[in-house]
Structure 1
Amino acid sequence: MANGEGILLGEMHFADREDTREKLLKQVWTEELNDVFADVAGYYDRANHVASLGMWNWFRNSFLATIELQSGQRALDVCAGTNAVGLAMLRKQPDLQVYAMDRSTAMQEVGRQRAAREGFHIESVIGDVHKLPFPDNHFDVVTLQWASRHLRIMDVAREVHRVLKPGGHFYHCDMLRPGNRTIERLYYAYLRVSLSVTAVLFRSGMAARNCKKYFIDTLSLFYSVEEFSQLLKHTGFDNVQARSLLLGMIGFHRARKPGP
């Protein structure tokens, strides 16, 4: 895999950038990520808590605070992982219909067990989120968090736009590429250390250990907070709002599908 840190993509068209990301990252996307997620599923949330120096709950709660819910709405959590966001939405609004979609059976099994312990039901779908198996104009709310770097995100954004009802909202959260090059370099240096430490602490298998460089490459080839806002507008959303945390290392986005 090419070292993404040396590649500057800021002036390229979104489609070209997505093609470049796929070309450089596709091998891991198609051949390795399932094994990585199967490896980390059992300790995923605990590892993130350690890697974030205890800020993981703050990140999640800050993101959840951006999500507006109403009684009886239908919500889809894309790349749902262990169902942390779906469960948090149900605690906030228990009569939601929540669907979860993820490529990892292992992650969703952890999520199913968590939901069962709390007495909630989340309808789980295993599959490719680039082609959502839902009808047009179906959901009031769609969420996506901590996974965009592993996707052809413009294709997924178009699918999210398709399945949202007119006037529905898309809520996004992920690690993003800081706009400042000095902050970016410091960010990657910290991630190299934290990934190594968590791999030792949680006795990660070879699949996860071998992807440390990949996780840095995904960020260096990804979008800044402002660029991601422009991507959402480019795919048809309006009223795009963004919030940056930690000097652009993490970004929240809220976007609306035009309609009543």
Structure 2
Amino acid sequence: MSPPPPLALREELREKRFSTIWKRDLHDIFVDVAPYYDRANFVASLGLWNWFRSSFMATIPVAPDLRVLDVCAGTNAVGIALLKREPNLKVHAIDRSEAMQTVGRQRAEALGLHIDSTICDVHTIPFPDNYFDRVTLQYATRHLRVEEIFKEIRRVLKPGGSFHHCDMLRPGSPTVEKLYYGYLRSCLAITGLLFRSGTAAMNAKKYFIDALEMFYSADELSEVLRRQGFCDVSAKTLLAGMIGFHRAVKPQP
């Protein structure tokens, strides 16, 4: 386990190392895992998945008629949870994976909930400036060009609107980091066998660890948000920094 590259070089080196996987392999990985994604995460987290989600949801204030954009919405877990709290939200999901969004639409419809959906590359968000009151992004940033997507999110947020981010992070402690990666290697193998993952997902086990090793700690991600022009940046971590929630606001003019 080597230390991560300096913050100023992190994005350049992440893209250099992972761009081929991001462009070529992620589509097939998420086609593979879409049918069992939520169940696999519940097992891999030792049953803590719902706690992670409810803790994140508690950081997002909602009110009737707010426009919410859920970036990399996957199976619509965030949108569904928000609509259960406030049915009069206007929720739009974007994701590059049609397979994941198909599962997400089915889940929402089964609950009588409506979430608009767009399939696209999330690095170019197909909405005008200053459009959304809230933007959320959960468990996907490790697979994205971080500075680029944060810049787009800031663009589509209304002044005073808030961005709410959740992801697995690189723990600040080297000891915790070593134990964390050891556990992930084991659980990725076990869940892959348990859910009969296909070749694409099984071949991605090393990538998932490598992506975390080159990702950000909670403090580093806060700094990236500030560099992209957000204000009032705050962070909360769970499990010694393994999971992190960030809130950031688009400044008023």
TM-score > 0.5, shorter chain as reference = yes
**2:235 equivalent in structure 1:** 242
**2:87 equivalent in structure 1:** 94
Question: For each residue in 1:125-170, what CA deviation from the matched residue of structure 2 results, as whole angstroms up to 9, or x when unmatched?
Answer: 0011111000000000000000000000111000000000000000
Report the count of equivalent residues: 253
* Partner of residue 6 from structure 1, selected from 2, 8, 22: 2
**2:17 equivalent in structure 1:** 24
Matched, 1:259 2:248: no
CA drift of 1:259 comes to 1.3
DSSP 3-state at the match of 2:117? strand
1:181-220 correspondence to structure 2 within 5 Å = 181-220=174-213
Question: For each residue in 1:184-243, what CA deviation from the matched residue of structure 2 results, as whole angstroms up to 9, or x when unmatched?
Answer: 111000000000000000000000000000000110000000000111011000001100
- Residue type at the aligned position of 1:207: A
- Residue type at the aligned position of 1:22: E
Matched, 1:64 2:64: no
**1:35 equivalent in structure 2:** 28
1 CA distance for matches of 2:152 and 2:4?
27
Q: Please tell me whether the aligned partners of residues 7 and 220 of structure 2 are also in contact (alpha carbons under 8 angstroms).
A: no
1:47-196 correspondence to structure 2 within 5 Å = 47-196=40-189
Question: For each residue in 1:5-40, what CA deviation from the matched residue of structure 2 results, as whole angstroms up to 9, or x when unmatched?
Answer: 43531x341xx2111001101111011000000000
Q: Which residues of structure 2 form unaligned runs of 5+?
A: none
Q: Percent identity?
A: 60
2 CA distance for matches of 1:7 and 1:63?
28
DSSP 3-state at the match of 2:100? helix
Q: Which runs of 4+ in 1 moved over 3 A?
A: none
1 CA distance for matches of 2:91 and 2:201?
30
CA distance 1:59–1:213, change in 2 (3 Å): same
1 CA distance for matches of 2:3 and 2:203?
22
Q: Which residues of structure 1 form unaligned runs of 5+?
A: none
DSSP 3-state at the match of 2:142? helix
Q: Given the two structures, how large is their TM-score scaled by the length of structure 1?
A: 0.96
Q: Please tell me whether the aligned partners of residues 69 and 94 of structure 2 are also in contact (alpha carbons under 8 angstroms).
A: yes
1 CA distance for matches of 2:252 and 2:42?
38
Q: Please tell me whether the aligned partners of residues 74 and 101 of structure 2 are also in contact (alpha carbons under 8 angstroms).
A: yes
- Residue type at the aligned position of 2:14: R
2 CA distance for matches of 1:123 and 1:44?
21
2 CA distance for matches of 1:115 and 1:50?
22
- Residue type at the aligned position of 2:77: A
DSSP 3-state at the match of 1:140? strand
Q: Please tell me whether the aligned partners of residues 163 and 247 of structure 2 are also in contact (alpha carbons under 8 angstroms).
A: yes
